[in-house]
C-alpha cells in the first residue's frame, strides 16, 4: 500500500472509531433514558393509584350508560386533571382505568379530551391489549412495557392493579407515553453526542486536510529543492566537463615540452616540471569532481558481479606499492581465508580501497606501517585499512566525510589532496548497501572500516560510470 493510501485508511479508521464512540455513547444514553422512563411511568402509576379512590368505581356499570352519570363525570374530571399534571410534568400522554372481563378489556375512564382520537367512551373494548395487562391482573405486580403498538399508536406504558379495601382488583390503571414523545425527549438528551460527534468529525476532517496540505507543501518544497540541486549538479558537471578538454591539451603540451630534444636551462626544466605537477593535480581534482557529481546526480550505473574482494584489494595494494616504498612504508595484507565472493560493482569498490590506501600512505610518515584486512562479520564483509600515521584531531572527526574537508593537522604537509576522497568513498559504500566508519587518535594512527553486505549490492540502471 502506498503511504498516501495508508494515511487515508488511518484517517478513515480514526473517523469511524470516533463515530462508533459517539454511537456507543448515544446508545448508552438511550438505555439510561429507557430506564428513566420506566421509573417515571411506574412511580407515577403509584401516584395516580393513590390519588384515585378505589370506591369511586363502585357506582359505575362499565358501559356507555355511565357517560352522563355524576359518578363518571366526577371521575372523568379527576382523570383529566391528573392527565394534565402528568403531561405538563412528565410528557405522559394518558392516564386511564380499565376493567378486565374474562378475555375482554374495557375502558372505565381516561384523561383524554373528547376530541382526542384515543379517547374511549366507558365500556369501549380495548381491541388488542398487551399481554402485560393480563399478567398484572394475574399476580398483582405492576409492569412496564414498550414500545408496543396497538390501534391508538406506539407507546411505552405502565400498568398496575388497583385494589379496594378488601384486596379485590377493581381496575387496571394504565399510564402511556407515546413513542413519538419518547423520541423527542431522547433526541434532546442525545443532542450532546450528536453535536459533539458532528464537531469532532469537523475538527478531525479539518485536521486531516491540514496534514494533507502540509504534506503537499513539503513535497512541493522538496521537489523544488531537488530541482535546484539537480540544476546545480548539472552546472558543476557541465563546467567540470568543459575543464577537461583544455586540461588534457595542457597536459599534452607540457609532456611534449618536457620531452622535446635540445638543451633547457635548469630554471626552465623546473618550471616545466612544476607546470606538469600542477596539471596533474588539476586533472585529479577535475576527475574527482566529475565522479562526485555523477554519484550525486543518481545517474550512476551499478553493475554488481561476483567479486573476490581479496583479489581486488591485492591489485590496489600492488598498484600503490611504489608510493609506499617511496616513503619506506610497509603494507601488510591479511584477508580471512576462504572469503566468499560478493556481488558488488568491482569498479566502484576498487575506488574505495584506492582512496583509503592512498590516504593511509599520504597521512603516515616515512617508515610507517599500513595494514589491510578483510574479514567476514555476520551478514557483512568488513574491510579495514589501518595506519600508524598522523591521525585525525578529535574536534574534526565529525567532519571527516564532508565534501572538501581537510583536517588542520595535515594542511601543513606537502601532500596534495582535494578533500573529496572520503566523501566519495561514503557515497560509493552507501549506494553499494554498506557502511563506512573509522577510529583515530591524533599522533597514533587511523583505521578506516567499510562493510559490504554478503547478500551483495542491488544493481541500478543509470547513464554514467565512474571515470
CB under 8 Å to 12, separation ≥6 — which residues? none
Whole-number Å distance between alpha carbons of 182 and 185? 5
Q: Which is closer to ligand ADP, CB of 265 or CB of 412?
A: 412
Per CB under 6 A, does 361 bind ligand ADP?
A: no
If the CB atoms of residues 97 and 407 are measured against ligand ADP, the closer one turns out to be 407
Among 428, 384, 386, 419, residue whose Cα is nearest residue 401: 419
Nearest-approach distance from CB 362 to ligand ADP, in angstroms: 6
CB of residue 426 to ligand ADP, shortest distance in Å? 9
Min dist. Cβ of residue 450 to ligand ADP (A): 13
Query: Please, which residue, 186 or 289, has the CB nearer to ligand ADP?
Result: 289
Is the Cβ of residue 108 or residue 370 nearer to ligand ADP in the bound state? 370
Q: How far is the CB of 386 from ligand ADP (least distance, A)?
A: 9
Q: Which of residues 221-250 bind ligand ADP (CB under 6 A)?
A: none
Q: Near ligand ADP by CB under 6 A, which window of 175-183, 274-282, 314-322, 359-367?
A: 359-367
Report residue 90 as a C-alpha cell.
Answer: 412528565
Q: Whose Cβ is closer to ligand ADP: residue 134's or residue 401's?
A: 401
Residue 266 exposure: Cα atoms within 13 Å on the Cβ side: 0
Judge contact between 307 and 314, C-beta under 8 A: no
Find the shortest distance in angstroms from Cβ 418 to ligand ADP: 4
Judged by CB under 6 A, the stretch of 33-41, 262-270, 344-352, 358-366 that binds ligand ADP is 358-366
| Residue 454 · residue 340 · CB < 8 Å | yes
Q: Candidates 167-175, 218-226, 269-277, 354-362: pick the segment binding ligand ADP (CB under 6 A).
A: 354-362
Nearer Cβ to ligand ADP, position 49 or 410? 410
What φ, ψ does residue 445 adopt, rounded to 5°?
145, 175
- CB nearer ligand ADP, residue 135 or residue 284: 284
Query: Within a 13 Å sphere around the CA of 230, how many CA atoms are in the beta-carbon half?
Result: 8
Cα 111 to its chain centre, rounded Å, is: 62
Residue among 83 and 421 whose Cβ is closer to ligand ADP: 421
DSSP secondary structure letter of residue 154? E
- Minimum distance of ligand ADP from residue 235's CB (angstroms): 23
Interface residue with ligand ADP, options 158, 160, 359, 427 (CB under 6 A) = 359
DSSP state of 98: E
CB of 4 to ligand ADP, least distance (A): 40
Burial string for 340-378 (b: 16+ CB within 10 Å, else e) reads eebbbbbbbbbbbbbbbbbbbbbbbeeebbbbbbbeeee
Give least dist CB 448 to ligand ADP, A.
Answer: 6
- Of residues 165 through 194, those in contact with ligand ADP by CB under 6 A are none
Binding mask 432-461 for ligand ADP (x = CB under 6 A): --------------x---------------
φ and ψ of 155, to 5 deg: -140, 160
- Give the binding-site size for ligand ADP (rule: CB under 6 A): 22
Closest CA to 335 of 353, 323, 348, 321: 353
The count of other CB atoms within 10 Å of the CB of residue 172 is 25
Q: Which is nearer to ligand ADP, 195 or 395 (CB)?
A: 395
Strand partners, 104: 101
Among 456, 374, 353, 360, CA closest to 415: 360
Residues 54-113 that bind ligand ADP (CB under 6 A): none
Name residues contacting ligand ADP, limited to 317-346 (CB under 6 A).
none
C-beta of residue 384 within 8 angstroms of C-beta of residue 437? no
Find the shortest distance in angstroms from Cβ 458 to ligand ADP. 26
Q: Which is nearer to ligand ADP, 72 or 448 (CB)?
A: 448
Shortest separation between residue 354's beta carbon and ligand ADP, angstroms: 11
Q: Which is nearer to ligand ADP, 79 or 424 (CB)?
A: 424
Where do the DSSP E strands lie in 363-443?
Answer: 369-377, 380-387, 435-441
Question: Any idea of the CA torsion for 394, 398, 404, 406, to the nearest 10 degrees?
Answer: 10
Residues 378-437 that bind ligand ADP (CB under 6 A): 387, 389-392, 400, 405-407, 410, 417-423
Nearest approach, Cβ of 228 to ligand ADP (angstroms)?
25
Which residues lie closer than 8 Å to 329 by C-beta, 6 or more apart?
361, 364, 366, 367, 368, 369, 370
Nearer residue to ligand ADP within complex by CB, 121 or 284: 284
Distance CA 16, CA 302 (A): 47
| CB environment 319-333: b (16+ within 10 A), e (fewer) | ebeeebeeeebebee
- Where is 255: in which H helix or E strand? helix 179-259
List of residues contacting ligand ADP (CB under 6 A): 355, 359-360, 363, 387, 389-392, 400, 405-407, 410, 417-423, 446
Amino acid at each position: 500500500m502506498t503511504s498516501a493510501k495508508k494515511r487515508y485508511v488511518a484517517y478513515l479508521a480514526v473517523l469511524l472509531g470516533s463515530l462508533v464512540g459517539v454511537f456507543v455513547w448515544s446508545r448508552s444514553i438511550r438505555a439510561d433514558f429507557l430506564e428513566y422512563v420506566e421509573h417515571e411511568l411506574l412511580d407515577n402509576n403509584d401516584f395516580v393509584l393513590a390519588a384515585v379512590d378505589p370506591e369511586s368505581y363502585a357506582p359505575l356499570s362499565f358501559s356507555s350508560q355511565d357517560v352522563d352519570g355524576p359518578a363518571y363525570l366526577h371521575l372523568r374530571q379527576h382523570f383529566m386533571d391528573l392527565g394534565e399534571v402528568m403531561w405538563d410534568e412528565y410528557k405522559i400522554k394518558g392516564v386511564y382505568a380499565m376493567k378486565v372481563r374474562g378475555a375482554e378489556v374495557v375502558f372505565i375512564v381516561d384523561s383524554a379530551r373528547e376530541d382526542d382520537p384515543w379517547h374511549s367512551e366507558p365500556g369501549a373494548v380495548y381491541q388488542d391489549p398487551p399481554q402485560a395487562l393480563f399478567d398484572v391482573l394475574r399476580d398483582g405486580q405492576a409492569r412496564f412495557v414498550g414500545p408496543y403498538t396497538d390501534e391508538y399508536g406506539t407507546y411505552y406504558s405502565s400498568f398496575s392493579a388497583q385494589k379496594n379495601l378488601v384486596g379485590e382488583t377493581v381496575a387496571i390503571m394504565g399510564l402511556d407515553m407515546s413513542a413519538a414523545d419518547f423520541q423527542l425527549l431522547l433526541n434532546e438528551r442525545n443532542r450532546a453526542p450528536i453535536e459533539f460527534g458532528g464537531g469532532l468529525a469537523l475538527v478531525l476532517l479539518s485536521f486531516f486536510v491540514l496534514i494533507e496540505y502540509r504534506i503537499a507543501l513539503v513535497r512541493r518544497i522538496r521537489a523544488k529543492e531537488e530541482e535546484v540541486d539537480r540544476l546545480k549538479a548539472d552546472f558543476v558537471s557541465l563546467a567540470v566537463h568543459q575543464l577537461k578538454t583544455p586540461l588534457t591539451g595542457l597536459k599534452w603540451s607540457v609532456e611534449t615540452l618536457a620531452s622535446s630534444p635540445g638543451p633547457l636551462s635548469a630554471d626552465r626544466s623546473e618550471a616545466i616540471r612544476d607546470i606538469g605537477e600542477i596539471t596533474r593535480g588539476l586533472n585529479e581534482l577535475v576527475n574527482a569532481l566529475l565522479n562526485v557529481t555523477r554519484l550525486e546526480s543518481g545517474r550512476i550505473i551499478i553493475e554488481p558481479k561476483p567479486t573476490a574482494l581479496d583479489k581486488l584489494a591485492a591489485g590496489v595494494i600492488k598498484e600503490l606499492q611504489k608510493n609506499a616504498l617511496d616513503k619506506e612504508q610497509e603494507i601488510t595484507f591479511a584477508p580471512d581465508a576462504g572469503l566468499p565472493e560478493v556481488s558488488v560493482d568491482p569498479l566502484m569498490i576498487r575506488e574505495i580501497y584506492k582512496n583509503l590506501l592512498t590516504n593511509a600512505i599520504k597521512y603516515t610518515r616515512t617508515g610507517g606501517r599500513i595494514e589491510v584486512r578483510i574479514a567476514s562479520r555476520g551478514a557483512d564483509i568488513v574491510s579495514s585499512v589501518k595506519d600508524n600515521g598522523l591521525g585525525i584531531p578529535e574536534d574534526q572527526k565529525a567532519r571527516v566525510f564532508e565534501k572538501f574537508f581537510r583536517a588542520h593537522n595535515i594542511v601543513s604537509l606537502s601532500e596534495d589532496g582535494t578533500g573529496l576522497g572520503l566523501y566519495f568513498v561514503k557515497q560509493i559504500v552507501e549506494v553499494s548497501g554498506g557502511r563506512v566508519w573509522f577510529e583515530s587518535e591524533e599522533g597514533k594512527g587511523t583505521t578506516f572500516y567499510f562493510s559490504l553486505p554478503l547478500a551483495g549490492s542491488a544493481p541500478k540502471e543509470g547513464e554514467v560510470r565512474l571515470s
